[in-house]
Amino acid sequence: MINNMELLKEEILYALDNRMLNLIILPTEKCNFRCAYCYEDFSIGKMPLAVSDAIKKLIRNRFDDLQLLAISWFGGEPLLNRETIYDISDYILHNKPASLHYAANMTTNGYLLDPATLRRLIECHVNTFQITLDGDRDLHNQTRVLADGRPTFDRIWENILMMHHSDYEFELMLRIHFTADNYTKHTPLIERLNSELSGDERIKYLFKPVERLGGANDAAIEPFTADDERMSVKSCLDRQMLNPRQVVDRYDLDKPQMCYASKPNSLMIRANGKIGKCTVALDDGRNDIGYIHKNGKVFINDKLAFWIHGLESMDLKTLACPLSRINYQTAKH
């Protein structure tokens, strides 16, 4: 059996392989939601045509030397700019060499993921999704609301059920948030999931604690005081799910992890064409590592070294979250 360290070593080898490329693309940094704990400021709008054309040129320039191209659509809410998603996806599918393996995923709030949009995304090979719920209807609608304050749960749940009843091949990760003061209130959602989705293993559940990530309402978030307490609560929630094959245990503290931001072959392209590594530290100057030129060439500055330092030190904490290590070093000095 392959142990956890061997799996991490394999992931590191992939991270150093220039035949692999992961692009995290933000087609817009606007959002139709105003989640209570959000850390984004929504100051950048839709990606202009010049930037999306540059991304297509970048991809075209790499066709001959890539074996794997993975696109991760992020935001803001990426579905506020579906046109760019469709345009870049269609370009890849119509022009890539047969030898290039292509995969795409999306982090979305799920509100705009209606039947026509899902069908078009599946056609674009965007077939892996992450949607967040903060609990059942009443609990979710306290923290994940539209920009005008209206509730969102019913529309999201309608779209989740639509996916469940479809025949599409997809993977849906339902990221279910909990905090130190609300995890005991998740019983209605767990009962709903067990009743309506339990047999569909295309749909997975990831119970994840809400963290303080720099948002305006961080002080209102009740954090866990210890890692073992957090993991104990997560395990308790996991055990309440009827189908254990639908439960994701991504945050096992004993398993070494490697963040995408630690990987040299993973880049985030923002809606304005700037390049970063971390989707959390959007307003951190240390995360501004370069830009994409209109000809498709990528220009990277020396700030990249901050993010991939874990590959030099082989420090597991740095590999798992280079941002936390950068913050620690900054505070130390």
pLDDT, one tens digit per residue, over 262-317 is: 999 999 999 999 999 999 999 999 999 999 999 999 999 999 999 999 999 888 88
Q: How confident is the model at residue 3 (pLDDT cuts 50, 70, 90)?
A: low
DSSP H helical ranges for the chain? 4-15, 49-62, 82-95, 115-123, 137-143, 153-165, 187-196, 227-239, 304-307, 310-313, 316-320, 322-332
Q: What residues pair up with 33 in beta bridges, in sequence order?
A: 146
H/E element, 236: helix 227-239
* Half-sphere exposure at residue 32, Cβ-oriented, CA atoms within 13 angstroms: 15
* Half-sphere exposure at residue 270, Cβ-oriented, CA atoms within 13 angstroms: 24
Q: Where are the domains of the chain?
A: 20-255
pLDDT tens-digit map of 161-198: 999 999 999 999 999 999 888 999 999 999 999 999 99
Encoded amino acid at 12, one letter: I
Enter the pTM of the model: 0.93
Q: How large is the C-alpha radius of gyration of the chain?
A: 20
Give the CATH fold of the 20-255 domain. TIM Barrel (3.20.20)
